[in-house]
Structure formats: structure tokens, C-alpha cells
A and B are shown apart, each in its own frame.
Chain A
Amino acid sequence: MTDPDKLQQLINAASRGKRPHFFEDHDVDRLLAIVWAMAAELAVTRERLDTVERLLAEREVFDRGAIETYRPDASAAKERGQWQIDYISRLLRVLQQDIDAMK
């Protein structure tokens, strides 16, 4: 459990059972998984940046350690969640277009 390579392998392990494919070209499934993981990590970065900005505004000083213990208040949490919703909406624009076109 202390070997970093082994740990990373365990973190990324697949579950037992056949992984379903939804597209004729299975590479599309793979590509989607990668794109969506990138989307998640961008959201993670955005949230971190948001924290930095809020802390800077609050304290007018940069304190790296404080990022780990930052806990958004109810209104900040709501704003951040709303950003996630808008962000997801932006990424899934093609699906919105599909829905509009099918109507």
C-alpha cells in the first residue's frame, strides 16, 4: 500500500464484470471517458482557484495551507454548485442541440 505505483494502479482499478460499450466504435467510449475525466479535473482546478480567490479576498494574504481546510459557507457552496451546473451545461451543449433538433 506504500508503493506509489501500486497505489495508483489500485485507485484506477476496474470493477469485476464486463464493461459495457455503447458505441459501435469502442474507441468512442474510451475517448468519452477521457474527455469526461478531463472535464472533472478542470472543475477541480476551477474550484481550487475559486478557493484561492475567496481566501485572498478575505485575508488579503496567500496561505497555501488554508486551502485544505477551507469550508465554503452556504452561499458560497451554492454559487459553486451553480457554476458546476453551468459548466456541465456548457460541455454537454451537443446534447442540448440534439434535444432541440428532435423536437
Chain B
Amino acid sequence: MKPATQLEPAPAWSEAGQHAMSAQASHDDTARFNFLANFNKYMANVVVAGNHIAFEHRAGPRWEQSHGRWPADRREIRAAMSEDPYYRMWSALRRTGMEMRQQAGRSLVLPQAGALRDRAAALNSGRDTLQLQPTPVPRYQSEVDNHCMPGGYFAEYFDGDVSAAANYDAGMFATTTGLFGQFLDGAGRGTANWVQAVRPDWQPKRILDVGCGLGHNTLPLAKAFPDAQIYALDTAAPMLRFGHARAVGFGIHNIIFQQSNVETLPFADGFFDLIYSTMFLHETSHSALRNVLREVRRALADDGLHLHLEQPPYHNMPIFEQFLRDWDCQHNNEPFWSALHDTHLPSLLAELGFSQDEIFETEIHALVEEVMPKVGQEVEDYGRGGKWYACGSGRINDRWSP
């Protein structure tokens, strides 16, 4: 735990990258995000550490007294800690912080939602690279709003609305305290860098980003492989409209943003050379996860490569860290979070028929601008850092270190 005086403040929100679809923030909008970013930073660097002390000195011993033994897994730690006043306060603050981030984003974006819609429509007009078609919202997305985002990725308050995406885009820089980079593309840049390292001189012709959201992690692949055709798929129309307009604003034209449920990929067998996803699998479900990976296998070329970035799985992780990382499942509307992180993805890939000797696990770090904070220099805020576990399969060399 660092004394507060030695903490490097979070980057100011005014340092977030501006692009063609950025919402226009007032001074107060900006200041709200500055408060939230530094609050998150303080929570991660100072407050979270008290949980471990509370467990070791108070909640753990109390549990031991009544059960005759120390808590044996993350569920028992949670049961013990749910009684502890320190954990309660940390949790309540963390939850209300997530809600305030949504309120701050919505109060920025909703009053200008009409102007954002018009801007997106102008940028998207006359282009065949935005392909929207009515797509039912999957149940695992309609039951709860992921990470406390009112209306989820899908809310459309009028035709052509992009406010859900504009809010997501505006707030993430504060939530992640700049660790994903000025344009939130650190995971995509890390992935592109990884592909170029494990397959030097490889030029994939067709690339698929599964569950692309607003395409912030699609753009780096499009830039790294300018001759490739990139497909960015998502079920949420507001994200795709916004993402396509944002990409056009950057002068990037080799991405097709297509509305589609990735449990059934509308592509021929072996169509893609490279398929990847970033922080997507945990927002699906048991059956959807299997469906998606089955489809990845079908649509991937024989010598293709695929990779999925996620927060680290729970196997081999200390149970107290599992308990902290699992907080989002119970308290931040991430219903599939626990199950995904309990899944041994290499075994699942093997079970689904991916070639056993080509399945790998690795680690990818966010690549960010010089002025942004770097993963290695930062304390981990469980579930929000710019460092990912990745699992996939395909022929790769062994020359990768994150």
C-alpha cells in the first residue's frame, strides 16, 4: 500500500484521444471523469489492500471460530467477508463508483444524442461497410445490463441512436485510468503485436473480431494488416453505427462492421485466417461460449490462428485473489464472469476439436502511447488492468514474451 502522497494521479480525461465521434464535454463533464479516475486509482492503490488485512485479522479468524477451520475456497472467503465492515464499505464504494461512472457518461452523452446520431449518419452515409440487420438480443445480454450500464449495449432511444456507444467510449478512459491507451485500443495493439511476433511476415487476408463492440480493438488489426479485409461482428447496432463512423473518421476503410450473433457465423468454412476477441467471452453464457468457439473452429482456415483475451482464469490462482476478482460477477452485473474464469479454456478447445498440440495460453499487455501509464508500473485493480490472459490455437513460434 502506497501513501497517498506518492501516488501518481490518473491521466486527466482531457488527455483521452479525440476522434470524429467524440462527445463534446463541458468543463464539469470532464471534471466528473477526473474525479472518478482518481477515485478508481485510490481504491486500487490504497483501499483495496485493507480487504486482505480485514480477512487475515478479523473475518478469517471469526470464520475459523465458528467453523473450526480456515475458509477453503473463494465462496467461503466471500461468506466470511460479507460480514466484515471494511469489505462492505469497499464494496459499496466500488459499486456506487461504477454507477456514478454511468451517470457521468449519460449526462455527457444523452443531451447531445441527436447531434451524435447525425454525425454518425453523415460519416456512415453511402458506405456498404456498415451492415445492420435486425438481430435478437441474446438472453445473456438482455437479462441484466453488463457492468451496470443502463440499457446495455443495445439501448436505442430513437432511430439511429449511438448514445450507448458514445457513453461507453467516453467513460472507459476514466474507468481504466488510461491503461488501455488514449484511444482505448491497447488490447488490439497488443494483439496485433503478438500476431506479428509469433508469425513474422505473415499476411492474414481475412480477419474476424468477434464481439467487437465499438471496434476500439479492431482498428489496430486493420492498421497492422492494411491489405487484409477485417470483419467486426457484434449484436448491438448502436455500437456498430458508432464504431463504423469512428473508423471512417480515422480514415480506416478495410473493416466491415456487421450486425450478427457470433454463435452462428455467416461465413463459409475456413473463411478466416485470423479470428480474435478481446474481453468478449465473459459476456456470453455456457452454451454461447461453446457455440462461438465451435463456429470459430469451422470458420477458421486450416493454417489459421485464433486468440481470445480475457482476465486471468481462476485455476492456480490464490483463493483470496479469486475472491477479489470474482467481485464483478456478484456486484457489477457480470453474470457469466465466474463460470468463464472457472473454465479451463485449453481443455474446452481440445474438447471442441481444436488440434491439441497447437493449443496455447499466453499473456498480452496493452500497448499504449508514451504519455499513458504502463501496465508494469501500475498496481493491479482486479479486473480492470491492461494485462490479459489469452488462449487460442494455431501454429506459432516460441518467440513471444509480453
Contacts and interface: CB of A to CB of B under 8 A. Distances in A.
Contacts of A47: 27, 30-31, 34-35
Contacts of B27: 47-48, 51, 67-68, 70
Given A1-B157, A11-B106, A44 B28 contact: yes
Nearest to A28: B92
Contact of A11 (B103, B114, B145): B103
B91 interface: yes
A61 interface: no
Interface string B77-96: 00000100111111111011
Given A44-B32, A81-B38, A99-B53, A22 B92 contact: yes
A95 to B, nearest CB: 6
Contacts of A98: 50, 54, 85-86
Contacts, number: 171
Given A1-B113, A1-B114, A51-B27, A20 B34 contact: no
A98 to B, nearest CB: 5
Interface in A63-84: 67-68, 70-72, 74, 77-78, 80-82, 84
Given A88-B39, A92-B42, A17 B145 contact: yes
B143 interface: yes
A56 interface: no
Contacts of B11: 77, 81
Interface in A6-28: 7, 10-17, 19-20, 22-23, 28
Contacts of B39: 40, 84, 88
Contacts of A28: 92
Chain A interface mostly helix, strand, loop or mixed?
Answer: helix
A37 B255 CA distance: 40
A80 B34 contact: yes
A21 to B, nearest CB: 8
Contact of A84 (B28, B34, B96, B333): B34
Given A7-B111, A40-B35, A88-B38, A16 B50 contact: no
A29 interface: yes
Q: Which of A11, A29, A71 has the most CB of B within 10 A?
A: A11
B interface, by DSSP: helix, strand, loop or mixed? Answer: helix
B145 A85 contact: no
Interface string A91-103: 0100110110011
Interface stretch (B146-154, B208-216, B383-391): B146-154
Interface string B91-110: 11101110110111011001
B184 interface: no
Interface stretch (B2-10, B195-203, B294-302): B2-10
Contacts of B36: 40
Contacts of B49: 99
Contact of B28 (A48, A74, A80): A48
- Looking at B1, B96, B143, B152, the one whose CB has the most chain A CB atoms below 10 A away is B96
B144 interface: yes
Interface residues of B, number: 73
B75 interface: no
B96 A33 contact: yes
Interface in A36-50: 36-37, 39-40, 43-44, 47-48
A37 B100 contact: yes
A53 interface: no
B363 to A, nearest CB: 29
Contacts of A103: 53, 57
B14 interface: yes
Contacts of B38: 81, 84-85, 88
B123 interface: no
Given A13-B151, A22-B92, A48-B27, A1 B158 contact: yes
Interface in B306-355: 330-331, 333, 335
A35 B88 CA distance: 16
A48 B237 CA distance: 36
B88 A16 contact: no
Given A7-B110, A74-B371, 20 more contacts: A1-B114, A10-B106, A10-B110, A11-B107, A15-B99, A15-B151, A16-B142, A16-B333, A20-B330, A40-B32, A47-B31, A68-B26, A80-B9, A81-B8, A85-B4, A85-B42, A86-B4, A99-B50, A102-B53, A102-B54
Interface of A: 1, 7, 10-17, 19-20, 22-23, 28-29, 32-33, 36-37, 39-40, 43-44, 47-48, 51, 67-68, 70-72, 74, 77-78, 80-82, 84-86, 88-89, 92, 95-96, 98-99, 102-103
